[in-house]
Amino acid sequence: MPHASSLTDLIGRYLPPATEACPTFTENSLFEPIVDGVTYFTELAEHMAALGPGDAVYIASYQADPQLDLMGHAAGESGYRPFTDVLAEKAAGGTDVRIVLSAAEFSGGVPWLPIGPFRANTLAARVIRAWKPSTVDVATPPLENRVLLDWSGHVLGSNHQKLVVFRHDGVLTAYVGGLDLAPSRFDHSPHRRLKLGTHRWGWHDAAARLHGPAAVRVWETFRFRWQNTAALPPRPIAKNLPPEYFHLPSGGLTWLNPIAPPRELPEVPPQPEHPADGTAVQVVRSYRPWSLYRHRGLRRMRRANVVRAGIQEIYHAMTTAIGAAERYIYLEDQYFHEAPGGDPRFQLYGQLRSAARRGVKIILIGSGRKDPADGGDSTVHPVITHDLRWRVLARLPVAAQRNVVMYRVDNLTVHTKLMLVDDVFASIGSANFFSRSMVGTDSEITSTFVTTGSLVRDLRVKLWAEHLRTPVDDQLNPAIADLDTALGIWRREWLPHGHPPETWRRPGLPAGFAPAEFALTPARYSAAVWRRERR
């Protein structure tokens, strides 16, 4: 069993082979999961407050709201202070602040088009560049050349990496995950803070905190992004909207990015090892090879230090862990379906089918309410997605189909990009399950981890207790911690042989497990949907 394996065995089975470009950090780097945005934003606020001269903070985000207060205060409330004001103050005092926001080759250059977050990011970049801190007098905005819009990459893709790196007194603390700097992410269990119109709405997300040599790998990823973005050709924006909308001078043209941003980042000092017995960490990425697809007569430009085939480290990490699974694979994801820009060669459905055939229990957790940024009605019907039905279930024998379940969490956007395997492997990052993240159409970063200890099991207990609306110290938790019993939450027949089916029964409720708040809805493999889609 995996639990009895040595760390060397776990590395060899659950992690892809280490390379010079993608090393394995063995027992020298801390990996600490963070669940939901309140804890994450609070930590960022504490780090930012502690920054001083000679320190640094580097941020790469898919989107960012300059008015966000990281402590959750709304504008007009006592104590409200946007993180932009804090960073401008720190930059004026000698902190090295750099921010890269996502744009795209097409929509990033036409900011009046409401496509994805890129219109908002164009505005956000200009607001942050023009910001003067409220606490100190400055002649020029401290961040005016410290915010870049990264419009490189595939025409259909985006720069989706989400990372933050702090350097305090030479020591790095890095964060990798799915969280953007947006007020809707400031949430926690039981997800009652937010409203979507008249609907209850919550936001579930995760990140990983890294220390030691693994944090250097995240810093190197940011350096790569910053240097490649700073090297992009100058790009004008014709202003056909009122100049004050973009905080720009009137008349003429302006530029998407500063004309001469600093190219280099200070060298990071050698990082102390953080003893982490029985653990190993990898930080993996996805990139398409081309930086620009249209440039000077449709000639393409290569990204520096990216091989012609691109970088698909995340795909190899996911397929290795899924292929090694013996007991269970637990996935949380926003989509579980393909999207334009993907590549069939990098889909993960075949790996899930193989795991189900050999008896591995596969648990998929998805949204019960859509992200408003996706547009349209926020309602998500509790059915298994088309791609899971046709690419996984329809190609399995009936008996193996019983090894796959999907649940949706009511009134919640599940934005986590997370996988747990066998209580020994975890991955947390920015990469969605679909192949456009795996092949690098969306550039991504993910942290993966194996352990001989209890950290992955403890994370599983925390996540399952949250979705069951059960406190971590509730009397049910011993049953959740025990994997044999816990699997029966999702399907009663997964309980150990001879175990009573009443294990997850509550008095007065139907047979089978019923969460305290009925927050989990099983996604049905609807016969009506099946017939309709076969026409």
DSSP string for 456-487: HHHHHHHHHHHHTT--TTSTTHHHHHSHHHHG
Contact at 8 Å (CB) between 143 and 91? yes
Question: How many CB atoms within 10 Å of residue 71?
Answer: 17
Instruction: Catalogue the E-assigned strands of 151-214.
Output: 158-159, 163-168, 171-177, 194-196, 199-204, 206-211
Closest listed residue to residue 437, CA positions, set 353, 312, 291:
312
Report the distance separating Cα 95 and Cα 86, nearest Å.
Answer: 11
Alpha-carbon span 404 to 400, nearest angstrom: 8
Tell me, what amino acid is at 421? V
SS3 304: coil
pLDDT at 421: 98
The angle subtended at Cα 464 by Cα 463 and Cα 469, nearest 5°, is 100
For residue 359, give the nearest of 406, 319, 407, 325 by alpha carbon. 325
Backbone angles phi, psi at 191, to 5 degrees: 60, 60
Check residue 256 and give its pLDDT.
83
Interatomic CA distance for residues 306 and 288, integer angstroms: 8
Measured CA to CA in angstroms, residue 511 lies from 466, 467, 493, 501, 506 at distances of 21, 19, 12, 8, 8
State in Å, rounded, how far the first CA of the chain is from the last one.
Answer: 45
Q: What is the per-residue pLDDT across 112-149, written as a single tens digit (0 to 9) for each?
A: 454 455 678 888 998 999 999 999 999 999 999 999 99
User: What tokens were used for 79?
Assistant: 């104590």
Q: Is the peptide bond before 261 cis (omega within 30 degrees of 0)?
A: no
pLDDT tens per residue across span 311-327: 999 999 999 999 999 99
| Backbone torsion region of residue 295, taken as left when φ is above 0, otherwise alpha when ψ lies between -120 and 50, otherwise beta | beta
The whole-number pLDDT of residue 293 equals 62
Residue 48 contacts residue 90 (beta carbons within 8 Å): yes
Report d(CA 238, CA 102) in Å as an integer.
20
Answer for the pair 4, 24: CB distance below 8 angstroms, yes or no.
no
CA atoms within 13 A on the CB side of 423: 21
Structure tokens at 431: 């990469």
3-state SS, residue 272: coil
Copy the structure tokens of residue 473: 């110290």
Question: H or E stretch including 290?
Answer: strand 290-292
State how beta strands 361-367 and 404-409 pair: parallel
What's the confidence (pLDDT) of residue 503? Answer: 66
Query: Which residues sit opposite 521 in a β-bridge?
Result: 408
Of 91, 90, 115, nearest to 104 by C-alpha is 115
Given a cut of 50, the residues of the chain with pLDDT beneath it are 1, 107-112, 114-115, 238-242, 245, 248-252, 298, 507-515, 527, 530, 533-535
What integer pLDDT is reported at residue 197 of this predicted model? 82
Q: How would DSSP label each residue in 213-249?
A: HHHHHHHHHHHHHHHHHHTSPP-EEE--S-GGGGT--
Per-residue pLDDT, 509: 39
What single-letter DSSP state applies at residue 379?
B
**380, β-bridge pairs:** none
Rg of the chain in Å (alpha carbons): 23
Distance CA 184, CA 34 (A): 17
Q: Is 401 exposed, middle or buried (0-12, 13-18, 19+ CB in 10 A)?
A: middle
What values do phi and psi take at 190, rounded to 5?
-90, 25
**Among all chains, which residue has been given the structure tokens 């056909």?**
240
Tell me the CA distances in angstroms from 522 to 168, 384, 419, 443, one per residue in order. 46, 9, 19, 32
CA angle 238, 241, 245 (to 5 degrees): 110
Q: Where are the extended beta strands (E) located within 368-489?
A: 404-409, 412-414, 418-421, 425-429, 442-451
24 within 8 A of 444, measured Cβ to Cβ: no
Q: Which pair of tokens denotes residue 234?
A: 């100058």
Which pLDDT value is given to residue 151? 87
pLDDT at 139: 95
pLDDT on residue 156: 81
Q: Which tokens hold the place of 422? A: 């066998």
Predicted confidence at residue 413, as pLDDT, reads 95
Q: Tally Cβ neighbours within 10 Å of residue 347.
A: 19
How distant, in Å, are the alpha carbons of 151, 156, 157, 345, 448 from that of 436?
Answer: 17, 9, 8, 10, 19
Buried b (16+ CB within 10 A) or exposed e, 404-423: bbbbbbbbbbbbbbbbbbbb
